[in-house]
Structure 1
């Protein structure tokens, strides 16, 4: 496995080759993700739920994210490392740059931020500073209190059109990847087809360029999981085997299946 870059992921989209992303938070798992030849590790603010035991991602701080990003960085050399900017850390362009710089210094190769076209100025500022950006649309967990819970987004025509316009605006501003979470399969396909940048899905159907799952979810550690999760530990001989099976299922298009999708 050669070192993964934004350029290599873009080439995969151009060539129609799907790729896998895993969310993990520490060195030992990062090492196994690398051995399973998975392209991207997301150091997610979901550590607030999975590691810290909170009921949302909102308590997570930049210091928390920097600590776990550094842990992941020490565990692997080849995957691209993407780190979430946590809640309240990018409300202004200046704050966004400061927060993102902290995560890049900790070992991230890219940062991820949740939100639509209003992020355009921050994306341009980060790009000028040499910081690549992944954006996140659909169910954005940091906005759970606005949404009134964890709900599928973009189901009506107006909301779907707004999401398409946001996606195009984010790409135009310089976003280099996009995550779509919990959106109808048909809408995810439209957005994926319209964008030149790779689109990563989670609960967004099989037509995106990549899929992401939280390590603990795909290994069956999490007691209660979402509809879009599949337990790859079942029938696997080891954690590395489960991770490899996940990668293979993403690459050959067998995951996600119909039961993991929203219409």
Structure 2
């Protein structure tokens, strides 16, 4: 028995400690900024983990940047479970949050089923849903059942056909409503809120008003943290990146250059060389 306990302790010592929702809230209390990025597969998640980012969002933005749709609306729960499971396998330390896709949480029953699949089948540690108002009882129910919930206010992509793809809460009345919604999400038990495409001053005000972390995307530096899309910050897609994004490396150009070099070597017959070939043993 003692030998078994020693082996278990040795395994536990070498196992990375995963970030929790409480860790993020402690970071806010200490004034530490939180860096979150999206990931949609095993290798991207492993790279994020190696870089030391505390949170990964498996966003339904995969519908646009991975599947090539014009919006997030075509993304299914099956899509999210499949991609999120790959991310969880790649990330040993980061907290993994998975989006609940469009119309999978329209009722309490549907929300419980969707969140259950994301946590049981995909293995995420938290889910994210958009909006407040009618969503407040859903957040309360999920939290009561042990599901950590991240809210999402401001520009909510799943409502793009109603609100348009543009910045939100730019006047005093809309700003007050957003602040009230953020406070309602906190009271319902959400552990964090994402603010997307809202004025910088509002992002800072909401962050100061809430005790839970406020993660901005196009909401200014006054938020408690930032989230960016993998493909935007790495320059993986053609065209100009969104205004709220910064390209940290032109990985897309490097990949294109490598593929062209491979194409040219194959066409010229210079690849593969003996180094990439199997030789027959003498005799």
Shift of residue 19, structure 1, vs aligned partner: 1.4
CA distance in 2, matches of 1:71, 1:38: 17
Q: Of residues 150, 169, 172 in structure 1, which corresponds to 2:165?
A: 150
Q: 2:203 maps to what in 1?
A: 188
In structure 1, what is the Cα distance between the partners aligned to 2:173 and 2:192?
Answer: 24
Q: Compute the RMSD of aligned alpha carbons.
A: 1.5
**Rg larger in 1 or in 2?**
2
Equivalenced residues, count? 236
Give CA deviations for 1:68-100 in whole Å, capped at 9, x if unaligned: 010001111100000000001000111111101
Q: 1:109 corresponds to which residue? A: 125
The TM-score normalised by the length of structure 1 is 0.87
- Show the counterpart of 2:79: 64
**Which position in structure 1 is the counterpart of 2:243?**
227
Between the aligned partners of 1:24 and 1:50, the Cα distance in structure 2 is 11
Q: Mapping of 1:117-156 within 5 angstroms?
A: 117-147=133-163, 149-156=164-171
* 1:163 and 2:178 matched: yes
Which residue is 1:179 aligned to? 194
Q: Give distance in 2, aligned partners of 1:13 and 1:22.
A: 17
2:219 aligned with 1:204: yes
What 5-or-longer segments of structure 1 have no aligned partner? 240-263
State the shift of 1:168 in Å: 0.4
State the distance in 2 between where 1:146 and 1:234 align: 34
Query: Hey, what's the Cα distance between the residues in 1 that align with 2:237 and 2:124?
Result: 26
What residue is the counterpart of 2:97 in the other structure? 82
CA positional deviation for 1:3:
1.9
Instruction: State whether residues 143 and 149 of structure 2, in contact with CA within 8 Å, keep that contact through their aligned partners in structure 1.
Output: yes
Runs of 4+ aligned structure 1 residues displaced above 3 Å come to none
Query: What residue in structure 2 maps to residue 251 of structure 1?
Result: none
Go from structure 1 to structure 2 and tell me whether the alpha carbon gap of 1:91 and 1:116 turns closer, same or farther (over 3 Å shift). Answer: same
Distance of 2:57 and 2:184 partners within structure 1: 23
Query: Is 1:50 the counterpart of 2:65 in the alignment?
Result: yes
Question: What does the per-residue CA deviation read over 1:130-149, in whole Å, with 9 as the maximum and x for residues that have no partner?
Answer: 100000000000000001x3
Which structure exhibits the higher relative contact order, with contacts defined as CA atoms closer than 8 Å and separated by 6 or more residues? Answer: 1
